[in-house]
Chains A and B, each alone.
Chain A
Amino acid sequence: MQKRKRQDSFLSKKEAQVTIFIIIGIFLIAVLALFFFLREEMGFETSGGGETNSASFLQTCLEEKINEAVKIISNQGASINPFLYIEFKFSDEEGYTNITYLCYNQNQDEYCINQEPMLMKHIEGEIQGYISQEVNGCFEDLKISLEDQGYEIDSLNSHYNGFDVELIEKRIIVNIDGDLTLTKSEQTTMQEGFKIIFPSRLYETAFIAQEIVSQEARFCEFDELNYMMFNQNYKVSKTSTLNSTIIYKIEHRDSSNKFKFAIKEKCTPAD
């Protein structure tokens, strides 16, 4: 009886363990299923590198620099180093910022002239310039990291050929044109093309900025109130300063991502 009892006890323990494993298994499967189901919404589709997870490495390596670039560009009106700008300070900011004029006319009674008709391309170029060294460095760091993991890198067949930056809705994509030939345990694999994705609202805010500039350049006015009525996720505010300058601030309500730029004009709007 005692033995039986012990056996029952043993069995019940064993059954309980199996049950726990099954539950854990189901839970893991569910989590995985949910992850794949929801992954698109999370906005990370970084790819390239296969098992070695090179793309994730590059993403982590570049993240800080990209965020820095986005912050500067958003604050300074699409330029890392503004050329034609106004120095301005909002009360919730610590210091003055050089805000670029995206639409400008220094003369009397004339509509402003769009200074960056290819704004998205310009922003992509600004980001590219800002992170250029970092990308190269991260690619080199990746090689070192892979070597640390026991991979041999065939330097004759591994190249870094540069990269480009692409702005799209909710994302900034860095496409690195590079390839790596790796050997480990006599198995050789080749990795080429790394697509690194960073979540950002820069495309959307810049798109609105371009719309504002287009209307200011064409009609000498922009009805921000009307715009907000139909684009409720964004807040557009304008602050008039000296010298016929208006500072526009575009804010994505949910993420609080902001984009600021300036226009200068002194004109009579067409009725």
Chain B
Amino acid sequence: MKKNKSIIIYLAVILLISLTITLGQIKIVSAEEELYCCKQTKQGGICQGVSSTNWQENCDVQNLIEYKCSNSDDCKTGVCLDTKRGICAPGSKWKCLADNGIWKDLINCEEIEGYEKGCCFFQGKGQTFTTEENCKYLYKQKGINLDEFDFRDLPQEECGYFSNTIEGACVINNGLERICKFTTEAECHGKGNFNSGVLCSNPALETNCEKQVSVGCIDGKNEIYWKDSCGNSENIYDSDKNKSWNNGKVLKKSESCNPNSGNMGSQTCGNCDRAKSSVCKAKKSGETHVSDGDFICQDLRCHYTDQWGEEVVKENGESWCVYDSRIGRYQFNTGPNNWNGLENKFAPKELIRDVATDTVGSEHWKMFCVEGEIDYEASNMRDKICQETITLNNRQNRSKAELVTNNGIECIQYNEDDHDTMISKCIKNKQCMLTNIELNKFRNGYWWGIFHTSADACVPRYPPGLNAEENYNEAIDYCSFATRACAFNNNNDDCRNGVFELQVNDLCVSLGDCGTYLNYVGEKTKNNKVKILNNNAGWSRINWSKEYSEYENPVKGQTYPQNDSLFITGSVSKGNLKKEKNKGGAFGVLGPVRLEVKCLPWTAPKGGSNCGICNEDPLRPCTKYRCESLGQTCEIINENTDKPLCVNMEYENIAPIINPGIILTHGNKFQNIKDMGVEVKKDDGNCIQELNELSFTLNTDEYAQCKWSYSRPLSPDYELMEGDFPEEGTLFTLNHTFKIVMPNLESINPNDVVIVDLQNRYGNFKMYVKCQDKQSPPNFNFNEYIVDLCTHSGPDNEPALIQKFSPKNGSYILYNETEKNINFWLDKPAECKYDLTQNKQYNDMTYTASCETSKDPNSREFYGYPCETNLTGLINGENKFYFKCRNQPWLGEDNSRIINSEDNMYTLSGSVSELKVDSVTLIYKSEENIQIISSEGTIISGVENISAELEIKTSGGANNGVAICNWEKEDGSEAPFFETNSNSHKQTLDYTKGTHKFYFKCEDDAGNKAEANATFYVLIDNKPPVAIRAYKEGGNLKIITDELARCYYTFERCNFEITNETKDMTTALSKEHETELINEKNYYIKCKDAFKNKNSECAIVIKT
């Protein structure tokens, strides 16, 4: 299980990297790698994380900080104040200070007085949503007196729509005539007489402006207006002129024609309304217009034909999801008459199939309607999932789409947990789905997986895309998660009749861009390999052309999150490989023949006849990923433009040329290199020892797919060749890796066997290799490339080497754990012993490990020949073990068996104490104060929603409290802390009024666990202070409030705003407030508490 765990973690990390890795010269560092901080990279990036090992690539030494940026003084992110302009933005400390800004160690600009955003009104000249300080700056720049400063605490939506402008006729009498301008009072001030609510064409004003001579649009307004002969705007256009003119007075919008409609295209009414998707626009040639001018209420809605040919209308501002293909989980019962590709008389009556269906090259699209035009935003290799919700707005359904992060990779990580936890997490996460291979239906059959030992697996419900071309090693590893094997007695077993093959491919497909599947235009390619392990043969039982039909078509009504259909897969606890293996006989008692279904990365169809499809839809433009999914010879051009194109590479007819690459195993080399072949032998020219691993690469001069076999192919055609793929599987690559275990002479049919003596025998054999290129039809090698090999079947003079330990050397173990089961793998079969004392002779070593001693190459596992043992007597500290192995176990006590001359040391570090959660705190920073509370504590806030930082601290365990902690709330929300893998774990969350109960679970590298819980209460203070007493003391007026507050007063009225200029009765927050008492004055007093709750009228009025 531990083996599986480590592999899965590795795969997940690799996938994360491969999914996000990009081209370019900038070295990218994964989140897992330790980071240093670079104040300014060579590329010019400010405060960037750089690899702690390769920082020189990106950073000059004088700019390097040997901590994470978030822990460094210079690069910590806070807020940067531009005090001249009153603007605040997030920024790193040194950059801010270098630019003469003022830096503060805060998360949010709004925490600083004067930098909360609100609505800044410019005395009749409009308004803007900005900070109070910026508002002052703009006042100064506009030359508006600060005595008239008008900044209001309004949300953006109210500011945007707010208008404090009362318009009217501004009449200037210059002695010769009366000039009129329709404007605001503020603008008219000092220039003329203002006639509020009156039009310039009103005869009473005696101007020379004639009413309603033209119509037009007005800057900043949505409607069509009548205009007078002086060019002034009048009322909203109505073909009923008298009604619109309203006797020369301003007519409100709500009283103008058809106020409840957007009046799109109306020839009689210009009451356009942006909220109802219409706005005044000059008409275009051939368009209708209002009867009295060339303007119209333009329809801002978007009209389009959807993927099912239906006409759809979307309102301005509406957004919605579009998918390229069927998405998410699809469960179906094959049923007795629904066997698609499984054409076998032994097929079972029914089989529930379960597939995550997102096709290769498909994306999730968020479309939105902006001013009559449709725009889009898309996922990148399905790194986002489109979620659409419908809300009721003005009694109309409006859709709103969002691209949410696709965390499907977490689903794979769940498989490292124990079975029940995996199932619980998988079911809870709406981006995951639980699949299982139906063991009950296996007659006489057994199954096991190479990496995962349970019948159940958690996979992404919306599988992310896989960048197999550029990261093929990672892609091969990732897909191999679904490589499975089963054993069978006869061809009727579900293992062999195709059911197993089908289900493994479903699992494979569900990983995303793996297996035999189709691209988003419905072209299918085969990317799995059925192999009977014992004799290297194997063939598929499935007619794949009938499988996954029409998955390329989107399904109407599909969106995220998805509701499961009838067939919810439950937990199946049978058939666990580990259990079978622990019984000690899985390989022995199972059916005699093993069948493996290998899950390989998906490859695009050969050729490029479909490349152009990628360019057809301007609303769903082509990307490299989409283009390359359409064909092997499809290539994206104009990539860094907004109109990339997918084109087919030019056709050529030359087969790939194969050449030797490199030898990957120590002690071997290429010899006697010819045009169509090469020999591989030991460095000294001798044959390679049987059962030793040989690994080498062959290169092709163009991207190609290769196959190999030990026997000469019967047909020259690549497709007809029976054989195995190199490690790259079906991928098209330049380097092709061949990894074989040198067979013993009995297992192959060698030619030229030479018998030197009774023990030493040599045999030559050949590997036949063919490759084909990406073209359609493909060019392939007519004649095979031959790798000549020779194997030595005599005494092996090289010792066995341990290739890998699990848990790995130096791992931590649990506190008070006294024994530990470990596995290790050897490069060749051997027996191994170990001891607590160093440098002992092999025979004197105390303990013996259980190792695979068979010569059968099929006994070899992924990392080599397996051994396992149970280490006992472990202590809470360092535990060292010394291993030695003796090769060729089949020789008995023969002296020719080679033993390692040096010990192979293995260390396990016992945890020094239990892992503990020491403290849980919640930190709420507001403008007024910082509240730090522990469990059962209460935070008091003036606002409904607060953002506070949750912090827990851990100690003990394997590594001074360093652990990964998760939080979970009662409502079921859970996640790892945003900052974790340390002894301090932090997460900022939003809290509403009420009780917030948390559960915390932490686990360190050794598996030590600690749990804790906490309850926090949030109270909202939204009431203004109450003046409970007022009296005269000395010469002063004193008032007492019921809570800490600041009080202010004027002598004029209750309706005043508290500003810096207002008279203050309080120096700091207090319940007591006083000021000099002046007789015969009225004190209008207002108070404001710590949470900015202030009296709307007066807290108290004192008359003296």
Shortest CB distance B870–A (Å): 39
Assess the B179–A33 pair: CB atoms within 8 A.
Answer: yes
Assess the B45–A118 pair: CB atoms within 8 A.
Answer: no
Contacts A29-B176, A109-B31, A240-B378 hold; do A115 and B46 have CB atoms under 8 A apart? yes
Assess the A33–B172 pair: CB atoms within 8 A.
Answer: yes
Shortest CB distance B1050–A (Å): 32
Q: Which residues of A contact B220 (CB under 8 A)?
A: 233
* Residues of B57-84 contacting chain A, CB below 8 A: 58, 69, 77, 80, 82, 84
**Set B90, B404, B639: member contacting A242, Cβ < 8 A:** B639
One digit per residue, 1 when the CB lies within 8 angstroms of any chain B CB and 0 when it does not, for chain A 122-142 equals 100000000000000000000
* B914 interfacial by beta-carbon distance below 8 Å: no
* A241 interfacial by beta-carbon distance below 8 Å: yes
Q: Which residues of B contact A168 (CB under 8 A)?
A: 138, 141-142
Shortest CB distance A197–B (Å): 11
One digit per residue, 1 when the CB lies within 8 angstroms of any chain A CB and 0 when it does not, for chain B 381-405 equals 0000000000000000000000011
Contacts A37-B172, A104-B48, A108-B28 hold; do A121 and B380 have CB atoms under 8 A apart? no
**Set A108, A120, A237, A241: member contacting B20, Cβ < 8 A:** A108
Q: Which residues of B contact A271 (CB under 8 A)?
A: 404
One digit per residue, 1 when the CB lies within 8 angstroms of any chain B CB and 0 when it does not, for chain A 87-104 equals 111110000100001001
Contacts A114-B91, A121-B99 hold; do A30 and B22 have CB atoms under 8 A apart? no
* A65 interfacial by beta-carbon distance below 8 Å: no
* B640 interfacial by beta-carbon distance below 8 Å: yes
Shortest CB distance A52–B (Å): 24
Q: Which residues of B contact A91 (CB under 8 A)?
A: 641-643
* A217 interfacial by beta-carbon distance below 8 Å: yes
Q: Which residues of B contact A34 (CB under 8 A)?
A: 179
Assess the B156–A268 pair: CB atoms within 8 A.
Answer: no
Residue of A nearest to B95 (CB): A117
Contacts A108-B28, A122-B99 hold; do A117 and B639 have CB atoms under 8 A apart? no
Assess the B28–A114 pair: CB atoms within 8 A.
Answer: no
Q: Which residues of A contact B972 (CB under 8 A)?
A: none
* Residues of A250-268 contacting chain B, CB below 8 A: 254, 266, 268
* Residues of B149-197 contacting chain A, CB below 8 A: 156-157, 159-161, 172, 174, 176-177, 179, 181, 191
Query: Bound state CA distance, A214 and B107, in angstroms?
Result: 11
Shortest CB distance B443–A (Å): 46
Contacts A91-B642, A104-B45, A117-B101 hold; do A169 and B142 have CB atoms under 8 A apart? yes
Contacts A33-B172, A37-B191 hold; do A213 and B89 have CB atoms under 8 A apart? yes
Assess the B90–A117 pair: CB atoms within 8 A.
Answer: yes
Query: Bound state CA distance, A176 and B682, in angstroms?
Result: 82
Q: Which residues of A contact B274 (CB under 8 A)?
A: 232
Assess the B90–A243 pair: CB atoms within 8 A.
Answer: no
Residue of A nearest to B101 (CB): A118
* A231 interfacial by beta-carbon distance below 8 Å: yes
Assess the A118–B100 pair: CB atoms within 8 A.
Answer: yes
Assess the B160–A107 pair: CB atoms within 8 A.
Answer: no
* A110 interfacial by beta-carbon distance below 8 Å: yes
Q: Which residues of B contact A122 (CB under 8 A)?
A: 99
Shortest CB distance A8–B (Å): 28
Among A68-76, A185-193, A222-230, the one that faces the other chain is: A222-230
Assess the A242–B77 pair: CB atoms within 8 A.
Answer: no
Assess the B30–A108 pair: CB atoms within 8 A.
Answer: yes
Query: Bound state CA distance, A181 and B128, in angstroms?
Result: 42
Assess the A88–B138 pair: CB atoms within 8 A.
Answer: no
Q: Which residues of A contact B206 (CB under 8 A)?
A: none
* B375 interfacial by beta-carbon distance below 8 Å: yes
Which secondary structure dominates chain B's binding surface? mixed
* A145 interfacial by beta-carbon distance below 8 Å: no
Shortest CB distance B378–A (Å): 7
Residue of A nearest to B636 (CB): A242
Contacts A29-B176, A107-B31, A214-B90 hold; do A84 and B45 have CB atoms under 8 A apart? yes
Assess the B640–A86 pair: CB atoms within 8 A.
Answer: yes
**Set B58, B96, B641: member contacting A117, Cβ < 8 A:** B96
* A113 interfacial by beta-carbon distance below 8 Å: yes
Q: How many chain-B residues does the 8 Å CB contact rule pick out? A: 81
Among B58, B142, B368, B641, max chain A CB count under 10 A is at B641
* B319 interfacial by beta-carbon distance below 8 Å: yes
Contacts A26-B177, A37-B172, A230-B157 hold; do A113 and B641 have CB atoms under 8 A apart? no
Shortest CB distance A36–B (Å): 9
* B377 interfacial by beta-carbon distance below 8 Å: yes
**Set A26, A113, A118, A238: member contacting B99, Cβ < 8 A:** A118
Q: Which residues of B contact A166 (CB under 8 A)?
A: 141
Shortest CB distance B74–A (Å): 12
Q: Which residues of B contact A232 (CB under 8 A)?
A: 160, 274
Query: Bound state CA distance, A88 and B368, in angstroms?
Result: 24
Assess the A110–B172 pair: CB atoms within 8 A.
Answer: no
One digit per residue, 1 when the CB lies within 8 angstroms of any chain A CB and 0 when it does not, for chain B 643-674 equals 10000000000000000000000000000000
* B684 interfacial by beta-carbon distance below 8 Å: no
Assess the B89–A119 pair: CB atoms within 8 A.
Answer: yes
* B638 interfacial by beta-carbon distance below 8 Å: yes
Q: Which residues of B contact A26 (CB under 8 A)?
A: 176-177
Q: Which residues of A contact B87 (CB under 8 A)?
A: 120, 207, 210
* B309 interfacial by beta-carbon distance below 8 Å: no
**Set B35, B130, B181, B377: member contacting A37, Cβ < 8 A:** B181
* B255 interfacial by beta-carbon distance below 8 Å: no
Query: Bound state CA distance, A210 and B380, in angstroms?
Result: 25
Contacts A33-B174, A117-B89, A120-B85 hold; do A108 and B41 have CB atoms under 8 A apart? no
Q: Which residues of B contact A161 (CB under 8 A)?
A: none
Query: Bound state CA distance, A194 and B638, in angstroms?
Result: 48
**Set B29, B48, B90: member contacting A217, Cβ < 8 A:** B90
Residue of B nearest to A267 (CB): B405
Assess the A240–B317 pair: CB atoms within 8 A.
Answer: no
Query: Bound state CA distance, A121 and B640, in angstroms?
Result: 30
Among A108, A110, A233, A237, max chain B CB count under 10 A is at A108
Contacts A113-B47, A214-B89, A225-B317 hold; do A244 and B95 have CB atoms under 8 A apart? no
* A2 interfacial by beta-carbon distance below 8 Å: no
Q: Which residues of B contact A169 (CB under 8 A)?
A: 128, 138, 141-142
* B17 interfacial by beta-carbon distance below 8 Å: yes
* A239 interfacial by beta-carbon distance below 8 Å: yes
Q: Which residues of B contact A244 (CB under 8 A)?
A: 20, 22, 380
Q: Which residues of A contact B407 (CB under 8 A)?
A: 268
Q: Which residues of B contact A89 (CB under 8 A)?
A: 638, 640-642
* Residues of A31-85 contacting chain B, CB below 8 A: 33-34, 37, 83-84
* B43 interfacial by beta-carbon distance below 8 Å: yes
Contacts A30-B176, A119-B89, A235-B370 hold; do A96 and B46 have CB atoms under 8 A apart? no
Q: Which residues of B contact A150 (CB under 8 A)?
A: none
Query: Bound state CA distance, A178 and B69, in angstroms?
Result: 45
Contacts A33-B172, A114-B89, A121-B82 hold; do A106 and B28 have CB atoms under 8 A apart? yes
Residue of A nearest to B16 (CB): A108
Residue of A nearest to B21 (CB): A108
Assess the A117–B319 pair: CB atoms within 8 A.
Answer: no
* B23 interfacial by beta-carbon distance below 8 Å: yes
**Set B20, B45, B108, B174: member contacting A115, Cβ < 8 A:** B45
Query: Bound state CA distance, A115 and B46, in angstroms?
Result: 6
Q: Which residues of A contact B31 (CB under 8 A)?
A: 107-110
* Residues of B728-772 contacting chain A, CB below 8 A: none
* A269 interfacial by beta-carbon distance below 8 Å: yes
Apart from A90-B642, A108-B29, A241-B640, 8 more pairs, CB < 8 Å: A89-B638, A118-B99, A213-B89, A229-B160, A230-B161, A239-B642, A244-B20, A254-B219
Of the A-B pairs whose beta carbons lie under 8 Å apart in the complex, a sample of 26, sorted by A's number, is A26-B176, A30-B177, A33-B179, A84-B43, A87-B640, A88-B640, A89-B642, A91-B641, A91-B642, A106-B27, A106-B43, A117-B99, A118-B80, A118-B91, A118-B96, A118-B101, A119-B89, A120-B82, A166-B141, A207-B87, A214-B89, A218-B90, A230-B161, A237-B370, A240-B377, A243-B24
- Top 4 nearest A-B pairs (CB, nearest first) are A117-B91, A230-B160, A117-B80, A84-B44
